[in-house]
Chains A and B, each alone.
Chain A
Amino acid sequence: MKKLSAVTVALFLVIISCFSGYAAGINAAEQSVLSNMRTPANMNGHKVYVPAAYINQAEAHFNTIDMTQQQADTINGIISQGRAFLEGTGKSNIKDLTSSQKQTLLSYASKAANVLKLTAVAGSDENRIKIITKDGTVIVDESNNIIKTTGYSSLLTPVLAGSALFIALVCASAGLIILKKRELVYEKN
């Protein structure tokens, strides 16, 4: 079993974060998105999962938004597109994607981020992803280490081990994917 690293999960989180309006609880539409996030991608025979940490962040954030079925269908479509794209690359992990494939994912994600009024914070080191809303509220501030040392990247072998890879952020409504450099976790079956 292989796990997809933080970025992909963060992507899904970002989509969730974009919605304005507050309504606690996970409705059927949001549950469908969570289930979709739990579905692995099959990259060249390797099952790639979104880590539980990110699905949990998605769920926590779904409690602060009110997703309609239409929005959920859009998000699910984008998640499925992202999964199909990754599966179609024929690569075993995201770090092996070509520059143009990464570019495609990045342009997708950026258009989605713009529609959803999200901002990716530039300049983070390669083990950290930070995404905020346009007014500065931090939505995702994630490093690879679940068990921390100091609050920023350390020299410890990250929990999600591997070399840096690009992960697509799949966002709602615009159906685009943001690409970010992250680590890929592999767990052998």
Chain B
Amino acid sequence: MKKTKTKNSRALKRRKKFFKGLRHFLLIPVLVCVLLYGFIFTATMPFMSDIFSIGSMFLQNEDANYSRSYENIFTPSDNTGDTVNADDVDYPSIDKQFGTLKIENRGVDAKLFFGDGSVALRNGVGVYAGSFIPGYGKTILISGHNNTYFNGLKNVKKGDIVKIRTSYGNYEYRINNTRIAKADDKSTYDLNAEEENLIMYTCYPFDELGLTEQRFFVYGEKISGPAIVGIYE
């Protein structure tokens, strides 16, 4: 009995020692560590909160994607009506192909993108994101390279028809003017225009090596295609 009691009390002592050791080696340092976080956080909070806030502004939910591929949301439309409801229009985001652009017999046949960055201009022609899409009733400003998809603009004449196909409708514009102007000439476009007008442009002169300051502008008026209705409530 005495031996068992001594054995039990020794085991108890060893257990007590172990937990005391654990407390000293682990628990107290963890507590001190937490206090340290609290201390440093409190001391640096006035400017760290701004830094964290600004830092997290540059974070996204996934790993960054550097692919130069693009998404195609274009499916041919059979809409023959005069209007299309705004609810039925899938508004494209930047670098998405949402249609095609063609000028018959002029060598212009390209994919139509929203946005006019390098992805768009490498693969087709692009609508400037600060302008609007066909059917919106405002300015459509489209750019393309003069040695690729818009090389055919050098052949266009007044009266030529520009066909733009989108998933929500098919549009036709008649070319009514062309103009050569400097790239920084703001009179070449009006982004505030309240009626639908098409402006296509490319570098000028054509087939010339090097970068030029001039652009070749082609203007068109809408002749057919569904107007997007229900935009403004």
Contacts and interface: CB of A to CB of B under 8 A. Distances in A.
Contact of A26 (B85, B116, B188, B231): B231
A141 interface: yes
Contacts of A136: 60, 62, 64-65
B138 A156 contact: no
Interface string B104-129: 00000000000111101110000011
Nearest to B116: A148
Given A26-B233, A56-B130, A145-B183, A154 B211 contact: yes
Interface stretch (A71-79, A87-95, A101-109): A101-109
Interface stretch (B37-45, B86-94, B151-159): B86-94
Interface residues of B, number: 53
A84 interface: no
A113 B57 contact: yes
Contacts, number: 141
A26 B62 CA distance: 31
Interface string B73-89: 00000000000011111
A56 B56 contact: no
Contacts of A114: 53, 56-57
B211 to A, nearest CB: 6
Contacts of A133: 60
A97 interface: no
B83 to A, nearest CB: 13
Nearest to B139: A56
A1 interface: no
B141 to A, nearest CB: 8
A133 B64 CA distance: 11
Interface in A152-185: 152, 154, 156-159, 178
A142 B129 contact: yes
Nearest to B93: A137
Contacts of A61: 91
Nearest to B63: A136
Contact of A147 (B53, B62, B89, B215): B215
B58 A119 contact: yes
A111 B53 contact: yes
B148 interface: no
A87 to B, nearest CB: 23
Interface in B21-69: 50, 53-54, 56-62, 64-65
Contacts of A103: 50
Q: Chain B interface mostly helix, strand, loop or mixed? A: loop
Interface residues of A, number: 55
Nearest to B232: A26
Interface string A50-89: 0111101100110110000000000000000000000000
Nearest to A179: B54
Given A57-B130, A138-B93, A139-B94, A24 B87 contact: yes
29 contacts: A23-B87, A24-B89, A24-B231, A26-B233, A51-B130, A52-B130, A63-B231, A107-B54, A110-B56, A119-B57, A119-B58, A119-B59, A133-B60, A134-B61, A136-B64, A138-B93, A139-B94, A140-B94, A141-B95, A141-B129, A142-B129, A146-B130, A151-B116, A151-B118, A151-B120, A151-B122, A156-B183, A156-B213, A159-B186
Interface of B: 50, 53-54, 56-62, 64-65, 85-89, 91, 93-95, 115-118, 120-122, 128-133, 138, 141, 143, 183-184, 186, 188-189, 191-192, 201, 203, 211, 213, 215, 230-233
* 10 closest Cβ pairs, A-B complex: A53-B130, A151-B118, A24-B86, A110-B57, A52-B191, A138-B94, A134-B61, A110-B54, A147-B183, A107-B50
Interface of A: 23-28, 31, 51-54, 56-57, 60-61, 63-64, 103, 106-107, 109-111, 113-114, 118-122, 132-142, 145-152, 154, 156-159, 178
